[in-house]
Amino acid sequence: MAKIIAGVGTSHVPAIGVAMDEGKTQEPYWKSLFDGYGPVRKWLAEVKPDVVILCYNDHCAALPPDTIPTFALGVGDEFQPADEGWGPRPVPVVKGDPDLAWHLVESLVLDGFDLTIMHQLQVDHGLTVPLSITCGQPKEWPFKVIPIEVNVVLYPQPTGARCHALGRAIRKAVESYGKDQKVVIFGTGGMSHQIHGERAGLINKEWDTAFLNDLTANPQRLIDLKHVDYIRDAGAEGIEMIVWLIMRGALNDHVQEVGRHYHVPASNTAAGLIVLENR
């Protein structure tokens, strides 16, 4: 049987990917941020998942605003990095797992999650930066990846509660898959940030810290947050954090935090990361 053994939540700041691609990680601005990623890389290399289910949001890079899936799942063999304006990131192509992906689609649709099935999907920094953060710069990514994309950039977005329920349904789907597979689930986005208007540059460290704490201790508070709560306290783009609730929903009620990194600032936001193991 396949099993989800752990979850990773992380922000996906595009400048972090650029710093890695351009060899700038040891520069004064970046060094302590990247030093903080050492433990998660070691942890993931030891865990050696067969598959990562990577929940993220596209930023109108691969999915232009003329078609807006609320939830989309990639069933392809591979996913190329999207061109976000500076050319596609020079990172390995992301290899999919069509067999498990189709199993997820069937189970999730029958459970009432009418997600969009993506045969073709290019992946932007929302997906590739978390891989770079947790794996460094290998020639090939060390596991297969099933992308689950969530609309958080155009109104109306799904609620955090719906994202958490999707996570629950993902766990059920994985556990009904016949092959022995070790699965880790990622939720990426945030943390608090707003990149336009009068509040551009907003970072709310207290809010971010409470979010990280409550993922383990009190996820119900996070599930109950409304969009307006995120926008008021975490900035307009802080709403990306609802994607982390898919990851939390796919884990057991009882989890243990085994890793955390929080660094301010990284570009316009905080770099935040948490690792949760099922108990």
Summarize as ranges the residues that interact with ligand DHB (CB under 6 A): 12-15, 59, 193, 195, 240, 267-269
- Report in angstroms how near the CB of residue 191 gets to ligand DHB at its nearest: 9
CA 139 to chain centroid, in Å, comes to: 22
Nearer to ligand DHB, 84 or 97 (CB): 84
Nearer to ligand DHB, 191 or 255 (CB): 191
Q: Which of 125, 164, 227, 261 is flagged as catalytic?
A: 125
b/e 30-41 (16+ beta carbons within 10 angstroms → b): beebbebbeebe
- Report in angstroms how near the CB of residue 76 gets to ligand DHB at its nearest: 23
251 near 259, Cβ under 8 Å?
A: no
Q: Which of 12, 164, 193, 227 is flagged as catalytic?
A: 193
- Report in angstroms how near the CB of residue 51 gets to ligand DHB at its nearest: 24
164 is catalytic: no
HSE-CB for 103 with a 13 A CA cutoff: 18
- Report in angstroms how near the CB of residue 163 gets to ligand DHB at its nearest: 17
12 near 149, Cβ under 8 Å?
A: no
235 near 152, Cβ under 8 Å?
A: no
263 is catalytic: no
Nearer to ligand DHB, 12 or 260 (CB): 12
Nearer to ligand DHB, 16 or 105 (CB): 16
- Report in angstroms how near the CB of residue 62 gets to ligand DHB at its nearest: 13
CA 42/CA 209 separation, integer angstroms: 23
Nearer to ligand DHB, 75 or 270 (CB): 270
The catalytic residue positions are 125, 193
